[in-house]
Amino acid sequence: MTRIDLTGLDTRPAQVWGGVRLVPLVRAEPVPGLRLSREVYEAADGRVDVGDGTVYTSYVPHGFVADWSGAGREEAAYGTRLGDAPPAGVPVRAPHRRLARRVRGERRLRFLPLHLALEGYLSLHFGGPSVLWEEWSRAALRRGLSPRAEAAYAGWEVPGLAEALRVFELHPGQCGVLVYTADALAAAFVVPHPEDYRLLHPTLVEDLYGELVHQYAYYGGPVPEFTARIRDGAGGIRDLADLRAAAREQERRWAVAHDGLMARDLLDTPYAFERAYRMGSFALYRFLPPFARDGRGQHIGELITDHKGRTAYLKTFRLSDAQVRRGYLLRRLASCDWHPGRTAEALGIAREELVRRIRAAGFGALLDAHGLAQAARNAREG
Amino acid sequence: MSELVAAEDVLLFVNAAVTATGQREFRSSAAEQQLSLAFLHEYVRVNYRPLYAACLALDINDHNAALVVEQLLRTPGEAGDGEGRLVAARLARMAPQRVYRLFRRLRQAGVNNRRTRAIVREWLAARPDPALDAVKYRPGVKAALRHAHVPAADAETGDFLFAPGRRVRYAHPTLEAYRRAHYEESALYGLPFSVAEGFAARHGVGREAFLERIAPRMTRLERLRTDRAAGTARTAGDLAGMPLTRLALSVLALPFAERAARREELTGALRAAARRAAGPHAGGWGRVAAVLDDSFSSSGSAVKRRRPLAVALGCHFLLEALAAPGAYTGLWTSGGTDPLLVRPYGPTPLGLRILDALDGGPDRLVIVSDGWDNAPPGLAGEVLRVWRSRLDPGRRTAAVHVNPVYDAGVFDVRRLGPSVPAVGIRDAEDLPALVEIAGFAEGRTGLTELRAYLDRRVADLLAAHEKGRTA
């Protein structure tokens, strides 16, 4: 599996609010056997005392619960089940313990949206250099890339997104949405069942968005609305049936234009999938982009597929250019055993240029100035 | 050319003045609405003063009527003939609490010209029971009397307002009840509801017992509000006399199960109200097709809950009454077929629904929508344009778009396209009058006709006012 497969999801006309464009995705039939629901954690701020005076604080807005407890039980969504009366909130004592967690004996899986994907991205070559080259400092070899941190924005900090989600009109059968800011794909969100979507739609404002999304929404102006145009040249339309056909054609043309043009980056890019969990005939994956520097939008994300590989659940996070650059650099360094000289050669650039790039990517602290000078001298004399 | 612009500007203002109330709408905030409205009022007043004043004779809402009066009185230097009489006639039709609020605003703004004082004096003199006003709107009455240098209607009311400690006993029953209500529980049932409510709380009277005993003193609206708060079901008798849009609102406030259980009764009440609203027009509109918007945005806002949907529901029954018997088709954008069970949900595929409506070849097409056509956007306008230019150039079918929501961004109600006139609507029962205005909005009649129409409405208003005063 290398690509995201959105078979079974049809595009409907977008709704525009300022710089935000929301494209609804509609399923003719819900995915059987899987339901998603939201879980609200009571202890919103998880505080963990590390012991040396440091306190680790994390904010956990909500988690998702995937339920595959029986094929055909469409009413099994957590929180809406009758008779069972589940608790409204489940307190989390250690929010950072495991990001996909199955409760013993239950056919339900809890996970925090996007944290799997972020974990995947942040742990990319987290260990740092694997071979002791003299250019790397002792700290880099001992502790690796630390601390692991990426900036993200909550949905309500993205200008206009909250309002756009509020005035958005859900389609019947809608199971997903593609969020664009300044017409760049910011996030994709797909769930198995329309009822789930209706309940989870408001959670989009609590989710994480990359800094690029925030910047685009902040600096980008209003985006133009796609508007229908019916061509009525000589003799084109003679009666109401012709007019109806032309109107239908407008709907279809939008869907084609969108899938081929706007969502192309998401659908065409090959991704590296890693299975995080298997549940019945479904599998929970996280994926990383190729970190290709071709100007395409790069997403990390997580996905649940059914036995045919079709998407039942999808959530993506758009990386900024700086994040893509970091990922690319780490990939290339790792493929050359972290040797700066060979990496520079593989990239076709000078060694000094590579060092500059490492510094620019924010990994400058990992380099050993003394070692660099030594290596440069060796290379000159060598 | 300038004539055409003038006519358009005035119609734009009428649309705004009918729909906008300065409150929050689904898509714009209260502040945006007020800012937009304030600009529009000033623009029209400065450029088309006589027409601006004449708008008072139209069915613009009271919020805007009060704004118009305020603007007119603030700028006496530009006043034209007969403005004062128009203002007086409109004020006589407005709810007293609004008028008192307007007087207070004039006082804050320091507007105290001779004309303003005369208008305040005349309006106060026409109040049927000054003592009741003094009890019910005490600060407002005091402010108005002081501001216009008018003595109180009689010595007792004067003392009540300005020297409350002077008398030990009042001859007027309401004033006397107010005095006694301070220490005697039974006296508060002689007071207006809103005043008695405060005393009841002070005496610790149970809400239910209080509501039961005060019932005869309540106005119809007060009864409706307390019923809704208490969750008690209204009986058939209460529903019978209600105006159409208000009735539609109360129907939509009921849960689905109750609407289904009381289907006969509710439908009957809505039909009866629609027949009353249709009046002489009933059955005279031939074959009518309507496209009614029940998309998510028709849920309105917290302050105007379900208003657009209620207008659509009201229009559904009104159009049924206006159409020739059995010649009405109402199409909801959601595809639903049961008007009694409508709910605001889903997108707005207006374009395709309009095509469905045109299929039957109606004499009239009425679209009730907030103008946000989003599945796909702009298709409704395109369908109407092509249909007008290619399929119905002879205008066999009259089309009109009525819009219950003011769009602060465009200073008007949102249009579907230039090929169909859009008019603002606040109450479904105004529909026949609005369709008349839509004729001007189509641009086929100019300023002269519009002026004649306004003159006629002004004459009607003044005549009705004169009749009311002499009677």
Please give the C-alpha separations between residue B336 and each of A28, B329, B343, B347, in angstroms, as whole numbers: 19, 13, 9, 13
How many CB pairs below 8 Å do chains A and B form together?
86
Which pLDDT score, from 0 to 100, does residue A83 have?
30
The residue that leads in pLDDT, B380 or A121, is B380
Tell me if B382 and A226 make a contact (CB, 8 A cut-off).
no
How many Cβ atoms sit within 10 Å of the Cβ of residue B359?
A: 14
Interface of B with A in 299-358 (CB under 8 A): 345-348, 351-352, 355, 358
Tell me if B390 and A15 make a contact (CB, 8 A cut-off).
no
Chain A, nearest residue to B25 by Cα: A167
Tell me if A13 and B377 make a contact (CB, 8 A cut-off).
yes
Summarised one tens digit per residue, pLDDT across range A301-344 is: 888 998 888 899 999 999 888 888 888 888 888 888 888 888 99
The residue that leads in pLDDT, B221 or B135, is B135
In a domain, A273, yes or no: yes
Beta-ladder partners of A282: A279
B33 part of contact set with chain A, CB < 8 Å: no
The residue that leads in pLDDT, B325 or A127, is B325
Which pLDDT score, from 0 to 100, does residue B47 have?
92
Confidence label for B448 from pLDDT (cuts 50, 70 and 90): confident
Tell me if A12 and B347 make a contact (CB, 8 A cut-off).
yes
How close is the nearest chain A Cα to the Cα of B318, in Å? Answer: 27
In a domain, A353, yes or no: no
Which pair of structure tokens corresponds to residue A332? 């290339």
Please say whether the dihedral angle defined by the alpha carbons of residues A281, A286, A291 and A295, taken in this order, is positive or negative: positive
Residue A181 to residue A99: CA distance in whole angstroms? 28
Residues 6+ apart with CB under 8 A from B362: B286, B287, B288, B289, B329, B397
Judging contacts by C-beta atoms under 8 Å, the chain B residues touching residue A240 are 355, 358-359, 387, 391
Please say whether the dihedral angle defined by the alpha carbons of residues A67, A69, A73 and A79, taken in this order, is positive or negative: negative
Reference B376, options B335, B401, B347, B344; nearest CA is B347
Is the pLDDT reported for residue B213 higher than 80? yes
Domain count, chain A: 1
Chain B, nearest residue to A246 by Cα: B383
Residue B159 to residue B170: CA distance in whole angstroms? 10
Summarised one tens digit per residue, pLDDT across range A216-270 is: 999 988 888 888 888 877 667 888 888 899 888 888 888 888 888 888 888 888 8
Tell me if B351 and A247 make a contact (CB, 8 A cut-off).
yes
Tell me if B378 and A230 make a contact (CB, 8 A cut-off).
no
Tell me if A237 and B390 make a contact (CB, 8 A cut-off).
yes
Tell me if B374 and A240 make a contact (CB, 8 A cut-off).
no
Is B370:B304 a contact under the CB 8 Å cutoff?
Answer: no
Summarised one tens digit per residue, pLDDT across range A13-61 is: 899 998 999 999 999 988 888 888 877 765 545 566 666 777 666 555 6
Which pair of structure tokens corresponds to residue A146? 């630390």
Tell me if A13 and B355 make a contact (CB, 8 A cut-off).
no
Confidence label for B445 from pLDDT (cuts 50, 70 and 90): low
Is the pLDDT reported for residue B36 higher than 60? yes
Confidence label for A72 from pLDDT (cuts 50, 70 and 90): very low
B387 part of contact set with chain A, CB < 8 Å: yes
List residues of A whose CB lies inside 8 A of any B CB. Answer: 12-16, 24, 167, 169-172, 225-230, 232, 237-240, 243-244, 246-247, 250-251, 254
Tell me if A237 and B386 make a contact (CB, 8 A cut-off).
yes
Q: Are strands B328-332 and A311-318 parallel, antiparallel or unpaired?
A: unpaired
The single-letter code of the amino acid at B275 is: R
Summarised one tens digit per residue, pLDDT across range A102-158 is: 655 667 777 777 777 877 787 777 777 777 787 888 777 777 776 567 778 888 889
Tell me if B386 and A254 make a contact (CB, 8 A cut-off).
no
Which pLDDT score, from 0 to 100, does residue B244 have?
92
pTM: 0.87
Confidence label for B2 from pLDDT (cuts 50, 70 and 90): confident
Most confident of B116-120, B389-393, B445-449: B116-120
Reference A305, options A214, A192, A211; nearest CA is A192
The CATH number, out of the four listed (1.10.357.10, 1.20.950.20, 1.20.1420.20, 3.40.50.410), of the domain defined by the range B278-445: 3.40.50.410
Is the pLDDT reported for residue A354 higher than 70? yes
SS (H, E, C) chain B: CHHHHHHHHHHHHHHHHHHCCCCCCCCCCHHHHHHHHHHHHHHHHHHCHHHHHHHHHCCCCHHHHHHHHHHHHHCHHHCCCCHHHHHHHHHHHCCHHHHHHHHHHHHHCCCCCHHHHHHHHHHHHCCCCHHHHHHHCHHHHHHHHHHHCCCCCCHHHHHHHHCCCCCCCCCCHHHHHHHHHCCCHHHHHHCCHHHHHHHHHHHCCCHHHHHHHHHHHCCHHHHHHHHHHHCCCCCHHHHHCCCHHHHHHHHHHCCHHHHHHCHHHHHHHHHHHHHHHHHHHCCCCCCEEEEECCCHHHHECCCCECHHHHHHHHHHHHHHHHCCCCCEEEEECCCCCCHHHCCCCCCCCHHHHHHHHHHCCCCEEEEECCCCCECCECHHHHHHHHHHHHHCCCCCCEEEEEECCEECCCCEECCCCCCCCEEECCCHHHHHHHHHHHHHHCCCCCHHHHHHHHHHHHHHHHHHHHHHHHC
Which pLDDT score, from 0 to 100, does residue A45 have?
53
Which pLDDT score, from 0 to 100, does residue B181 have?
93
B295 part of contact set with chain A, CB < 8 Å: yes
Tell me if B386 and A229 make a contact (CB, 8 A cut-off).
no
Is the pLDDT reported for residue B288 higher than 90? yes
Is the pLDDT reported for residue B325 higher than 50? yes
Give the best residue of B334, B374, B415 to mutate against chain A (max A CB count within 10 A).
B374
The single-letter code of the amino acid at A81 is: R
Confidence label for B110 from pLDDT (cuts 50, 70 and 90): very high
Is the pLDDT reported for residue A184 higher than 70? yes
Is the pLDDT reported for residue B331 higher than 90? yes
Domain boundaries, chain B: 27-211, 278-445
| Domain of residue A289, residue span | 1-126+151-227+242-320
Is the pLDDT reported for residue B220 higher than 90? no
B173 part of contact set with chain A, CB < 8 Å: no
Q: What is the mean pLDDT of residues B384-407?
A: 91
Tell me if A240 and B359 make a contact (CB, 8 A cut-off).
yes
B297 part of contact set with chain A, CB < 8 Å: yes
Tell me if A170 and B347 make a contact (CB, 8 A cut-off).
yes
Chain A, nearest residue to B295 by Cα: A169
The residue that leads in pLDDT, B352 or A106, is B352
Is the pLDDT reported for residue B270 higher than 60? yes
Residues 6+ apart with CB under 8 A from A163: A17, A18
Judging contacts by C-beta atoms under 8 Å, the chain A residues touching residue B352 are 244, 247
Chain B, nearest residue to A225 by Cα: B377
Task: List the end-to-end C-alpha distance of chain B, in Å, as a whole number.
Answer: 46
Q: What is the mean pLDDT of residues B163-178?
A: 91
Closest in B347, B355, B377 to A227, CB measured: B377
State ipTM. 0.84
Where is average pLDDT lowest: A38-52, A264-278, B145-159?
Answer: A38-52
